[in-house]
Amino acid sequence: MDLLQRNKTAIGEQSKEEQLKVFKVSHDDNKLTTNQGLYVASTDDSLKAGSRGPTLLEDFHFREKLTHFDHERIPERVVHARGFGAHGYFQVYESMGEFTKAKFLQDPSKKTPVFVRFSTVVGSRGSADTVRDVRGFATKFYTEEGNYDLVANNIPVFFIQDAIKFPDVVHAIKPEPHNEIPQASAAHDTFWDFVVSTPETAHMIMWLLSDRAIPRSFRMMEGFGVNTFRFINNQGKARFVKFHWKPLLGVHSLVWDEAQKLAGKDPDFHRRDLWDAIDSGEFPEYELGVQLLNEEEEFNFPFDILDPTKIWPEEITPVKLIGKMTLNRNVDNFFAETEQVAFHPGHVVPGIDFSNDPLLQGRLFSYLDTQLLRLGGPNFHEIPINHTIAPIHNNQRDGSHRMTIDRGVTSYSPNSLNRNYPKPASETEGGYAHYTEKVEGNKVRERSESFKDNYSQATLFWNSMSAAEKEHIIEAFHFEVGSVMDRNIKQRVVDMFNNVNSQLANAIALGVGAQPPNTPSGSGVTASSPAVSQENTIRNARTRKVAILAENGFNYPELTQVMQTLKANGIQCEIISKNLGILTSSDGLQLEVGKNYVTTGSIKYDAVYIAGGQQSVDSLVIQGDSLHFVNEAFKHAKAIGAANEGVNLLRASAIKEVAMAGAATQAQLVTELGVVTICNAEDMSVFSKEFMKAISQHRHWYRQNKKEVVPA
Ligand code: HDE
């Protein structure tokens, strides 16, 4: 048989797997086996010479079990180690053919499967979810043309402009090398030393110290591609593009005190939230948005559109919403899917191309390189979560963990023995052709002059913040820079941020024990960008979590009516009481307690409702835990509702002033600073409606000046 004939036969032949299927293997799937398929008789005792004697080397089952266990871990990601993933699908609203030929952006009736992994950047795999950090938001689109990865963050800019500085910024922000402290935190000397020595970080630092870095939920975060990419249409016309994800639930955050407490009480807060939402059918949704610029507009801006430390303000370059992603399926196995998924900004499809953004250019090297180590070799694309739905035909062969059984003798190109199979595809056949861009210049290690404005957009961001957001940023500086030991670095932070805004610099100085700046400075920018403030986001009570405080003797009709209305509106309710078990109402009816004060805390809820019922509230007012619950929720600016006798708990708490505002008037319904009270009420519909309005606000920041009276 000649070689060509052998190839053909091999391809046409039945594969080994197919052949195996025809053997009828009698096998009981419930039985424990070794990795060779052998039934195991016992897995609780190793094979020994005598029941008190030494273990024998002959025990192949013991050795296989332990060896596999010893090798269960793979290297964690050098950044973004802690993550959580989910499956879903994406659908474009209308054909984007005018802008890009990417097939998954053409047909609104088509659903493209996706896998998303959310992450923190700095902490190790076992660190807490709610730390102050950037969140990764990486999406793999399994398109018919191959995988497309949109590897995004929840902050639209980056610390540095050139990828060559990535190891420096990561080394600076990771725990310090001598003692590996602190975990998952930027609040230490090496990071701030890097910041004050690298002024291009200024804009990103403003975002990192804002509420964006402590999101309420992965479901309530924006995503940003950060780098500038290109869309290419069928006519070969290119446009610059920046990608955005906009969550339909709006962009919401925790408060810092809450984030810190959650890190102890529920370090899995964000992953649990995502898992529970998907599990209960409340599928998170995000709209995909694009900012588009014609090639001719490249130099129309006061900043360089290739500079990843700059946003394209949405008020100037609007975000066009082009489709929606729905996450509707949790993973079956965390390791196989979330841990082994491998993203790469270089996974693109025809119609999506790169720009010369120097951060992006460097990223295009790093992601493939890192997977080779992390996933143990060049065949990680064969792991099911990474496998494209488009078939793979190429001449790459062998290597560790190869799954494919390649057939035939040709694994080179060109070849005549197999008629040059597999052949390159022309552009018209869907072959990826890089955008033809004219590039000329000297070979230099230099930064473009157009990248050198470090402060204007940091000021723009500061100008865009609401009063509460500004206060949070100052508090964040106080914590972060207050944790720095080196006095010189603290002073340099004040001096650096004096270039952003001198009021900010003065406020930082006051809190960290540094000198206020000598001369007020600022970048001179007076403009703002309302789109970057969370104050202007969507407000929606759906999927929020309400804690209902009650004890024996609660008012059953009142509590159940409120609970039913909240639930009917997609709000989750949990009854909290001193003890777990069953509560009996004043009229003898029963309800099950969800959590007690030991197993939960106000930090795990978006709002609190104190149900009426004399006996129940009489117990609540003498419990430190319930008083603390209410005080803390008030301090964290959450909606609070109290009905009938329930108002007495507020009267006994640190916010009695607010409670009295309602009670004094004896009015049916009073809302004061996001605290909704009602007295002498049987029908709870007006209360429920008003309470839901308060919940949808997410936080009631204007009570800030009152929070000082709350000891929680
Ligand atoms: Fe990454 N980044 N990055 N990054 N990145 C990684 O790849 C890197 C950057 C982002 O859930 C690593 O597989 C360089 C910007 C996400 O698996 C690594 C630079 C943005 C994830 C890497 C950047 C990101 C990563 C580590 C240039 C927002 C997690 C593990 C300075 C657009 C993906 C891995 C997941 C992960 C390199 C900057 C997003 C080492 C060199 C900007 C969401 O390859």
| pLDDT per residue as tens digits for the range 381-429 | 999 999 999 999 999 999 999 999 999 999 999 999 999 999 999 999 9
pLDDT at 626: 98
pTM: 0.96
pLDDT at 4: 42
Pocket test for ligand 1, best of 164, 363, 369 (most atoms within 8 A of CB): 363
Ligand 1 atom 30 nearest Cα: 77
Percent of the chain topping pLDDT 70: 95
Of the candidates 180, 179, 153, 171, which has an alpha carbon nearest to the alpha carbon of residue 243?
A: 153
Interval 280-306 mean pLDDT:
98
Ligand 1 atom 3 nearest Cα: 363
- Give 505 Cα–ligand 1 centroid separation in angstroms: 31
pLDDT at 18: 65
Asked if residue 6 has pLDDT above 60, the reply is no
Give the count of beta carbons closer than 10 Å to the beta carbon of residue 367. Answer: 16
Ligand 1 atom 7 nearest Cα: 367
Asked if residue 306 has pLDDT above 60, the reply is yes
Residues 377, 380, 382, CA angle at the centre, nearest 5°? 130
DSSP letters along 554-572, please? Answer: --HHHHHHHHHHHHHTT-E
What is the average pLDDT value for the chain, to the nearest integer? Answer: 95
Which ligand 1 atom is nearest residue 137's CA?
Answer: 43
Write down the residue that tokens 């046409």 correspond to.
12
Q: How far is CA 303 from CA 309, 311, 457, 530, in A?
A: 10, 9, 9, 19
Q: How far is CA 15 from CA 9, 271, 402, 406, in A?
A: 11, 42, 16, 10
How sure is the predictor about 9, in pLDDT bands with cuts at 50, 70 and 90?
Answer: very low
Torsion of CA 583, 588, 590, 596, to 10 degrees: -10
pLDDT at 8: 43
Asked if residue 373 has pLDDT above 60, the reply is yes
Asked if residue 600 has pLDDT above 90, the reply is yes
DSSP letters along 165-210, please? Answer: GHHHHHHHHSPBTTTTBSTT---SHHHHHHHHH-GGGHHHHHHHTS
Model confidence pLDDT, tens digit, residues 438-493: 999 999 999 999 999 999 999 999 999 999 999 999 999 999 999 999 999 999 99
Which ligand 1 atom is nearest residue 371's CA?
Answer: 13
- Which residues on adjacent β-strands are paired with residue 137? 118, 152
- Give 642 Cα–ligand 1 centroid separation in angstroms: 46
Pull the structure tokens for residue 64. 């296989």
- Domains of the chain with bracketed CATH: 1-17+394-426 (no CATH), 83-158+202-386 (2.40.180.10), 453-535 (1.20.1370.20), 541-709 (3.40.50.880)
Asked if residue 659 has pLDDT above 80, the reply is no
Name which residue leads in pLDDT, 708 or 216: 216
Contact criterion met (CB below 8 Å) for 282 and 573: no
**CB-based pocket (< 6 A), ligand 1:** 77-80, 83, 117, 119, 136, 138, 151-153, 158, 163, 166, 225-226, 341-343, 359, 362-363, 366-367, 370-371
Spot the catalytic one: 61, 80, 472, 698.
80
Least-confidence region, from 17-21, 59-63, 261-265, 676-680: 17-21
Which ligand 1 atom is nearest residue 138's CA?
Answer: 43
Least-confidence region, from 305-309, 436-440, 641-645, 663-667: 663-667
Pull the structure tokens for residue 178. 């001598």
Q: How far is CA 476 from CA 2, 160, 247, 472, in A?
A: 74, 21, 25, 6
Interval 638-653 mean pLDDT:
96
Which ligand 1 atom is nearest residue 158's CA?
Answer: 42
Ligand 1 atom 32 nearest Cα: 152
pLDDT at 21: 66
Which ligand 1 atom is nearest residue 153's CA?
Answer: 28
Pocket test for ligand 1, best of 366, 371, 381, 383 (most atoms within 8 A of CB): 366
Asked if residue 14 has pLDDT above 60, the reply is no
- Torsion angles phi and psi, residue 79, rounded to 5: -130, 160
Write down the residue that tokens 């955050």 correspond to.
253
Least-confidence region, from 387-396, 401-410, 640-649, 660-669: 660-669
Spot the catalytic one: 7, 153, 454, 499.
153
Strands 572-577, 582-584: pairing is unpaired
Catalytic, 153? Answer yes
Model confidence pLDDT, tens digit, residues 223-251: 999 999 999 999 999 999 999 999 999 99
Give the count of beta carbons closer than 10 Å to the beta carbon of residue 72. Answer: 7
